[in-house]
């Protein structure tokens, strides 16, 4: 009996987290319905020739901020150009705001504007007054909650008492505590000292937010989370020093997950000196030796997820450094840069690339194997990636409203050329075909971390 498909992706090399295979992919409706060496005799409404290309499961970006120059709609388009099919945004709940209404508004905004499927983390800035609503958020499909151990001057910092209280509540709900780990009070003092002594803020930015204070905060977060038996996720690890407390906890079997970002793997303090205010991020860009250590941490499993921390803000190079906001555009260039600097240069394997961008995040937030794999029954989220295209990154070919890229002039090899989300082609020939409002909001589930 002849089998019919809506789409057949033919002739590509399928890359999953467990290896690489030559096979075709058959798609019906929103699902993958066949993965086989040759579907050539079967009929299809649309045939996509992937010969000489890789076929990836849809990629994730689990660290995005759709509240700056790119809103929920624009950010999803920017991410789609970079081969992303699933986003997990931070929904920030500032002091004076309530958690549940803020989540409801953000979900509604995403459903009306986004072209990509999405989930949410909650970012709590006032745990004391927002804690009681955390259990309700779980019923809305939000199971991960972020706090800052820094930015005390901005009144964004969570102290150890309320960090412990949040960890206790999250543990009871089988959720995931997420921490931006820097020592807020000490870094504020160092910044004040730098201002008082009239030091060059660009040259001393890394000095004012040292790597060992990031490591100290990571260690403190680990110990507090362990005290409450709460699973912990450390966002945007930036330095070699971060790896020691992560490795120590993981060796003990504690549930501690490490994330890093493309900027911490491929850029360094020289970038800050070149791009000045545009390269102001927290934690700072560090040293080439830190880049190397983080690549090793990815290869050996200490770090298990790469995400962008896409926080696009309109800045000029020579803006006043102290008043310039933190953040850079990263989601569109993320997969390309990690492929070029990681896979092409032998730092990580291609299956490891898929693990950290697709399989691991899908598993962590309870979306696997619906997301995160090319397999029968999975959502038809597919990225066709051409490993031969040589091109130069420039603001002229980027799509964020930020108006700059820290990779200006960087030549890379490899690019996503076609992307499918749930059976619909959303990126082809350099154009976004998806329409706002076709995204799905997905509940996350982290209860497996407590089995």
pLDDT digits over 262-289, tens only? 999 999 999 999 999 999 999 999 999 9
Q: Which two three-digit tokens encode residue 393?
A: 């990154």
Helix axes 211-227, 160-173, angle to 10 degrees: 50
Tens digit of pLDDT for each residue in 334-347? 999 999 999 999 99
Tens digit of pLDDT for each residue in 49-66? 999 999 999 999 999 999
Spatial CB neighbours of 391, under 8 Å, sequence gap ≥ 6: 397, 411, 412, 413, 415
Question: Under a CB-based contact definition with an 8 Å cutoff, are residues 123 and 95 in contact?
Answer: no
Give the Cβ contact number of residue 216 at 10 Å: 18
Mean pLDDT of all residues in the chain? 97
Give 3's pLDDT tier (boundaries 50, 70, 90): confident
pLDDT value of position 40:
74
Give 126's pLDDT tier (boundaries 50, 70, 90): very high
Give 2's pLDDT tier (boundaries 50, 70, 90): low
Question: Under a CB-based contact definition with an 8 Å cutoff, are residues 281 and 272 in contact?
Answer: no
Give 156's pLDDT tier (boundaries 50, 70, 90): very high
To the nearest whole percent, how much of the chain has pLDDT over 90?
98
pLDDT value of position 446:
98
Cα 402 to Cα 441: distance, rounded to the nearest angstrom: 26
CA nearest to 86, candidates 247, 307, 282? 307
3-state secondary structure at position 306: strand
Longest dimension (CA), the chain: 80
Cα 255 to Cα 252: distance, rounded to the nearest angstrom: 9
Q: Which two three-digit tokens encode residue 182?
A: 């820097």
Q: Where would I find the beta strands (DSSP E) of 350-432?
A: 382-392, 411-421, 424-428, 431-432
CA nearest to 385, candidates 53, 37, 30? 53
CA nearest to 115, candidates 356, 429, 396, 420? 420
Q: Which two three-digit tokens encode residue 30?
A: 């929103």
Pick the CATH number of 58-373 from 3.30.70.2740, 3.20.20.70, 3.50.50.60, 3.20.20.140: 3.20.20.140
Tens digit of pLDDT for each residue in 390-435? 999 999 999 999 999 999 999 999 999 999 999 999 999 999 999 9
Q: What is the DSSP letter of 106?
A: H
User: Sheet holding 4-10: strands in order across?
Assistant: 31-36, 24-28, 4-10, 43-49
Mean pLDDT of 309-315: 98
Cα 77 to Cα 380: distance, rounded to the nearest angstrom: 18
Q: Is the pLDDT of residue 1 over 70?
A: no
pLDDT value of position 94:
96
Q: Which two three-digit tokens encode residue 100?
A: 């549940």
pTM above 0.85, yes or no: yes
Provide the pairing of β-strand 411-421 with 382-392: antiparallel
Question: Under a CB-based contact definition with an 8 Å cutoff, are residues 416 and 385 in contact?
Answer: yes
Q: Is the pLDDT of residue 384 over 60?
A: yes
């Amino acid at each position: 009996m002849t089998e019919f498909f809506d789409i057949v992706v033919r002739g590509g090399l399928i890359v999953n987290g467990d290896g690489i295979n030559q096979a075709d992919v058959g798609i019906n409706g929103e699902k993958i319905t066949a993965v086989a060496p040759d579907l050539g005799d079967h009929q299809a409404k649309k045939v996509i020739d992937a010969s000489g290309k890789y076929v990836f499961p849809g990629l994730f970006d689990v660290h995005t901020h759709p509240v700056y120059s790119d809103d929920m709609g624009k950010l999803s388009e920017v991410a789609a150009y970079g081969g992303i099919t699933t986003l997990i945004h931070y929904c920030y709940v500032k002091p004076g705001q309530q958690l549940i209404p803020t989540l409801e508004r953000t979900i509604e905004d995403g459903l009306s504007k986004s072209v990509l499927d999405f989930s949410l983390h909650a970012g709590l800035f006032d745990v004391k007054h927002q804690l009681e609503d955390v259990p309700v958020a779980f019923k809305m499909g939000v199971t991960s909650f972020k706090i800052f151990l820094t930015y005390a001057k901005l009144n964004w910092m969570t102290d150890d008492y309320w960090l412990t209280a949040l960890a206790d509540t999250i543990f009871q709900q089988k959720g995931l505590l997420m921490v931006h780990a820097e020592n807020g009070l000490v870094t504020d003092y160092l910044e004040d000292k730098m201002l008082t002594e009239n030091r060059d803020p660009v040259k001393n930015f890394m000095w004012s937010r040292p790597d060992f204070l990031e490591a100290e905060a990571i260690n403190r977060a680990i110990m507090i989370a362990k005290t409450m038996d709460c699973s912990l996720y450390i966002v945007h690890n930036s330095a070699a020093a971060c790896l020691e407390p992560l490795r120590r906890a993981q060796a003990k079997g504690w549930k501690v997950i490490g994330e890093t970002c493309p900027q911490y793997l491929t850029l360094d303090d020289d970038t800050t000196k070149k791009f000045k205010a545009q390269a102001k991020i927290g934690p700072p860009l560090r040293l080439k030796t830190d880049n190397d250590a983080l690549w090793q941490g990815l290869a050996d499993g200490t770090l298990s997820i790469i995400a962008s921390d896409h926080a696009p803000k309109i800045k000029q190079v020579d803006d006043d450094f102290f008043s310039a906001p933190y953040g850079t555009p990263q989601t569109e260039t993320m997969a390309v840069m990690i492929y070029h600097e990681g896979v092409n240069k032998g730092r990580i394997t291609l299956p490891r690339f898929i693990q950290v961008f697709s399989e691991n995040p899908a598993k962590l937030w309870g979306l696997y194997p619906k997301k995160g794999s090319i397999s029968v029954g999975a959502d038809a989220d597919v990225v066709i990636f051409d490993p031969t295209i040589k091109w130069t990154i420039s603001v002229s070919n980027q799509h964020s409203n930020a108006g700059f890229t820290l990779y200006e002039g960087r030549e890379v090899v490899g690019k996503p050329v076609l992307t499918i989300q749930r059976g619909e082609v959303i990126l082809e020939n350099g154009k976004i075909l998806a329409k706002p409002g076709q995204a799905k909001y997905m509940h996350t589930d982290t209860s497996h971390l407590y089995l």
